[in-house]
Structure formats: structure tokens, C-alpha cells
Amino acid sequence: MSDLRELYQQVIVDHNNSPHNFCELQDANRHAHGYNPLCGDKLSLYLTVNDDDIITDAGFQGTGCAISVASASLMTDFLKGKTIADVKAFFDEFHAALTSEHAKSHMDFGKLAVLLGVKEFPARVKCATLAWHTMQSALENKGREASTE
Amino acid sequence: MSSFNWQSIKNDFPILDNSRREKPLVYLDNAATTQKPLAVIDKVDEYYKNYNANVHRGVHSLSVKATDAYEGARETVRDFINARSVRELIFVRGTTEAINLVASSYGGSKIKQGDEIIVSEMEHHSNIVPWQLLAERAGAKIKVIPINDHGELDLNNFPAMFSDKTKILAVGHISNALGTINPIKDMIKEAHKHNVPVIIDGAQAIPHSKVDVQDLDCDFYAFSGHKAYGPTGIGVLYAKEALLEAMPPYQGGGEMILRVSFDDTQFNDIPAKFEAGTPNIAGAIGMAAGLEYINNIGLDAIATYEHELLEYALERAADHPQLKLVGTAKHKASILSFLYDGVHAHDIGTILDCEGVAIRTGHHCAMPVMDHFGVPATARASFAFYNSRADIDALFKALDRVKEVFKL
């Protein structure tokens, strides 16, 4: 029960009910689709990156469970103003914290720490990581769909 | 409720013994797989402990005993679905392999460029993809029987779907995603008017209602042991004898041959022709024990009791305005597929699991059905005869937690 409260913290429920940056960016220069075949979660991510490699704007659209929507909402908030190098470094730490039981990070994840509740729910980790895989795909401009599989 | 003592039936299933676990389990994912009674577990155990040997091979007494049990299982299946002869029954890995066998062997030899295959919109992926693979190889076309918004087959245009190019009709007996019971007997009759053979995906029907393949007059009928209280990795393809005789082998190997030389290999008689390699002996024995277990209770009693459970669940559901049923067919099995006020099925599944209630969430391997209803996923509770009204009460109590968490 306490695990459940840990997973569905107020912040998660709020972001699910009214996700931030839930829009297609008309002037985006990076774009990727994400798909979680297990859940059917679908995500389109839009990023605007300037000449200094700074993400100036981020938006997303799609359907998914509360965890994946909240994760995308929180992530797009977080991305704005960060450099690509910062984001990549952060992603590695954060991904490890989400997926590895033994990962001990000294990094302050700030608001994103609410997503760490999924660790107790192995079946749901992919819901939390979908947005992040999609973001990686957009930054690398692979041009193909990011998948959690 | 019916007179049978349904409450004590839980005692036959070790996994449902709540005194053995930290928190009580309410298992409502029976359409995915059923739990196994001790009668099945013991039979499998007994085979491995007392007479494990390969079948149809040795002269030693262990092999004779294993062969008798394996072939005895075939007779149990024959009796269960009223096939004419054990020659019409092939042991396979499950429903999926049975359909693949028909698509590959029957379809591969009969279906050519420009031919047509009819399937329905509510099929499980296992009754879609093998036909797509075949159609791709052969240059054939797939035609789809549509469904209406109750999740029933829309058969208004059904007779007109047949042409002289139609080579097979593949349709499910009961939909795993919607619970709809399809009017397969009438559909088979219609198909036969056009000389089109019919394969029925019976995975969801076998454990819940009496299936008589002679009365249905289906040409092929496929099902899995594990959805009928038996082990995983074993299932059955029923096929009319004349069809099997004419079909080329599916896989080559031992058991399926009479004589092998590099000039000429002679295939074994049916059903052995379609059972290359050492079969799942323990699986067949366990599956037969599951069918015997069902027989001891009686399928009529099971169908009546499970229908009462469904009625009760529907009554409870009516009190939850947040709950929207997906699949409201007039003829419906004990499957409750639903949406809950915009909460994603996976969130429902996780919250229910925390309350000890196991349901299935997702697309149920029926993505075209999800597309029809414009949803990515549904939550699905499916009932078996070991479930009770109390289990359904637990489901709705757990759904109250969903309301709480999402502040609905």
C-alpha cells in the first residue's frame, strides 16, 4: 500500500490530469516517436534546439498510462534550457536509477525524483522510461521510432 | 447460485490456498491462463516420477506405459469434443501452433495467388498473423468480417463475402478481448454452402462450454490445454480425417515417418504424420487430467455458474458510472473488458494488483479490436468456476482504490 502511494504521488496524478507542454511544436527541429508495445503507449516528442545545442523548447503528444504521461510532462519541463550534453549525462544517471536496483546516485533529481517510485513495480519501469528513450532518439535524430523493447 | 459446492472447489487448487501467501490472491485472469488443480499437478508429477519414457519407441515396459498414457490422453480429448476418431487429433504446443499448422500445411498447399481468406475483426493475433504470413507468401488476400459497437460480428454482409476464390474461413468461437460468443454453427453452415472449410479458434470456449465438433461440423478446431486447467505448452488441433490425409506434413523428423531413405521417404499415418519429434508427453497427460477434472464437475454446471458470476459482475458494474464496458454482446462468456473514467488500464492493473486482485490489462493480443473501440488498452477480468461473488466484490472494492488514487 505504501508502495502504491509512492508510485502514484500527487505530483504524478496532477501531471497526468493536466500534462505540461502537451502540444506539437510548430518550429521544432528535433522530433521522434516512442512506442511501448506492451502497453500500447504512444508518444510524439518535439524539441527545439538552438545553435549552441541548448534545448529552448519541448513539447509532446500521445496516449499512455499516468506514469508515462507524467514522465513525459516532467521531462519536457526539465529539458527546457538544458544543453544536449547536460541532458545526456543526466539521462544516464537517471536511467540507471530507474532501472537498476543497486544504483546509488549522488545526483539531485529534483522534481523528477517522484518517478523513482516505479522501481518497486518492475512491470511499470518501461512506462517511466518511454519518454526518455524517445528524447534520446530525437536528440540523436535517428528518425525511427524509439521502443521500450 | 447452483447446487454444486463451488466454495470448496478452491481447495482443489494449491495456488488459491490463501493461507500460504502473505496477502490473499483474487485471480481474475482466467482468459489468459487458468490455475491448475492438484489432479493435474499430480498426474504430471506421477508421470515424471514413475514412468517417464519416450513414446512409440521402446519395447521396454516404461515406454509402453508412457505410450498408453499419451494415447489415452488423445482418447480423452476425442471424447471431450466428440471427434469421430483419435486419428483426427494432433497434439501441438497450443492454439497458436495449431493455427500455424493449418495455415502452413493446408493453406500452403491449397491457397494460391489471388485466393481469399476470411477472418474477423475480433480475432486474436494468433488467428490473424499466420494468415497474413500465408497471404504474403501466396499472394492471397485477407477479407475481414467487421464487428459492431456491441462487439458482435456484423454478419449482414457475410454470405456475400464468399466467392469462388475464398479458400478458408478462420474465426474465433469466443472472443478473448470482448467475451462475445460467436454464432459459429450458422457461420460454418454458410461457409459450407460455398464449399469453404472453416477453422475455429476455440481457446476461450473449451473450458467454458460444451464443444461438439461433429455437431458444429467445423473442419478444424484449435485449443490450448493451459486455458482448460492443464499445463502450458500443449494443445490440440482437431481436423476432419480426409483433410488431414490430404495435407502435406507440417514439420519433418522422427515419429512422422514410416521409412526414410535418401531416395524416398514415406510418411507415417495420421495423426503421427503431424507430430514430428518427441512430443510433450507430460503435457498431453496433464491436459487430459484437466479435461477429466472439468468432466467431473460438468460443463453444463460450469457454464451456468460462470454465467451467474458474469450477471453478478454486470450488476455490480452498473453501480459504477465510471466503468464503461467494452463488449456488450447479447451472447457473452464470463469476460468483463472495461474502461474506467479515463484511467489507463495499466494504472488500474497496478492498483488492483496491490489489492491482491490479478486482472489482465492491455490490448489482449487483439489490436484491431482496440482500434475499433478507439482505445489503446482495456482492463479485463475473466472468471472461472473457482471464482466467487466475494472475488467480484474484491474487484469492485479494489476499483474504489482507483477512484481514490486518481481522485475521481
> What ipTM does this complex have?
0.87
Q: Which of B133, B365, B370, B405 is catalytic?
A: B365
Nearest to A40 among B363, B401, B405 (CB): B363
Q: Does B171 touch chain A (CB under 8 A)?
A: no
Mean pLDDT across the stretch B358-378?
92
Percentage above 90 pLDDT, chain B: 90
Q: Does A117 touch chain B (CB under 8 A)?
A: no
pLDDT at residue B356, as a whole number: 94
Mean pLDDT across the stretch B384-393?
96
What 3-state DSSP class applies to B340? Answer: strand
B13 shares its domain with B74:
no
B20 shares its domain with B161:
no
Topology of domain A2-142, per CATH? Sufe protein. Chain: A (3.90.1010)
Distances (CA, A) of A15 to A43, A120, A126, A133: 15, 20, 18, 19
B259 shares its domain with B307:
no
Q: How far apart are the C-alpha atoms of B46 and B177, rounded to whole Å?
A: 36
Mean pLDDT across the stretch B37-58?
95
B232 shares its domain with B330:
no
Please give the tally of structural domains in chain B. 2
Nearest by Cα to B376 from B384, B386, B364, B387: B364
Among candidate residues B295, B319, B353, the one where a domain is terminated: B295
For the stretch B349-364, pLDDT in tens is 999 999 999 999 988 9
For residue A12, the chain B residues in CB contact (below 8 A) are none
Are residues B362 and A39, on separate chains, in Cβ contact within 8 Å? yes
* Residue B36 covered by a domain: no
| B125 against A37, higher pLDDT | B125
B272 shares its domain with B127:
yes
pLDDT at residue B22, as a whole number: 84
Nearest to A8 among B345, B363, B405 (CB): B405
* Residue B34 covered by a domain: no
Q: Which grid cell is A47?
A: 524539441
* Residue B354 covered by a domain: yes
pLDDT at residue A106, as a whole number: 72
B371 within 8 A of B125, measured Cβ to Cβ: no
A32 within 8 A of A146, measured Cβ to Cβ: yes
Catalytic, B218? Answer: no
Among candidate residues B295, B326, B353, the one where a domain is terminated: B295
| B339 against A143, higher pLDDT | B339
Q: Does B351 touch chain A (CB under 8 A)?
A: yes
B25 shares its domain with B103:
no
B186 shares its domain with B278:
yes
Are residues A124 and B407, on separate chains, in Cβ contact within 8 Å? no
Mean pLDDT of chain B: 95
Residue ranges making up the domain that contains B66: 41-295
Among candidate residues B295, B313, B332, the one where a domain is terminated: B295
Q: Does B354 touch chain A (CB under 8 A)?
A: yes
pLDDT at residue B396, as a whole number: 97
Distances (CA, A) of B241 to B72, B191, B247: 19, 19, 10
Beta-carbon contacts of residue B359 (< 8 Å; ≥ 6 apart): B28, B29, B348, B349, B352, B379, B380, B381, B382, B395
